[in-house]
Amino acid sequence: MKTVGHDHLSEQLPELVRRAGMSYEMLARALSVSRRSVGMWLAGEEPGRLNRVRIYEFRRLLEALCKVIKPEKLGAWWERPAPNFGGSTPLQVLERGEVDRLWRMVWEIRAGNSGD
């Protein structure tokens, strides 16, 4: 099955990882999947529906983040503890399934607030 944009996921993942400033291990953590799953997708196996949705949602989040955080700063940002996340890193927040906290941060920054 083709993904949005009509390219195979194996062609999209390297660009997604590059734009996010992540390693494949970090991407696996962000998506709540195994590193092996990411490897299989890179080898050409298409993910199931749930994981396609996770990838799509992560791509949406990344696009929003790139509008409020300089893209070249994202790599370090994922693993930097943040007071507005109770000392957790943004990657840890994603791992816990609390993506709404990241979306709120994006909204707060766009609204001119600090995100606290």
pTM: 0.86
Number of domains in the chain: 1
**What's the domain range around 83?**
9-110
Residue 100 domain-assigned?
A: yes
The confidence score (pLDDT) of residue 79 equals: 96
Phi and psi of 93, rounded to 5°? -60, -45
Residue 85 domain-assigned?
A: yes
Residues (pLDDT < 50) of the chain are 1-6, 115
Task: State the burial class of residue 48 (Cβ atoms within 10 Å of its Cβ: 0-12, 13-18, 19+).
Answer: exposed
Compute, in degrees rounded to 10, the torsion defined by CA atoms 103, 78, 92, 96. 30
| 75-89 confidence digits (pLDDT tens) | 999 999 999 899 999
Task: Of 90, 92, 96, give the one whose Cα is nearest residue 115.
Answer: 90
Residue 2 domain-assigned?
A: no
Residue 94 domain-assigned?
A: yes
Residue 91 domain-assigned?
A: yes
| 10-19 confidence digits (pLDDT tens) | 889 999 999 9
The confidence score (pLDDT) of residue 8 equals: 79
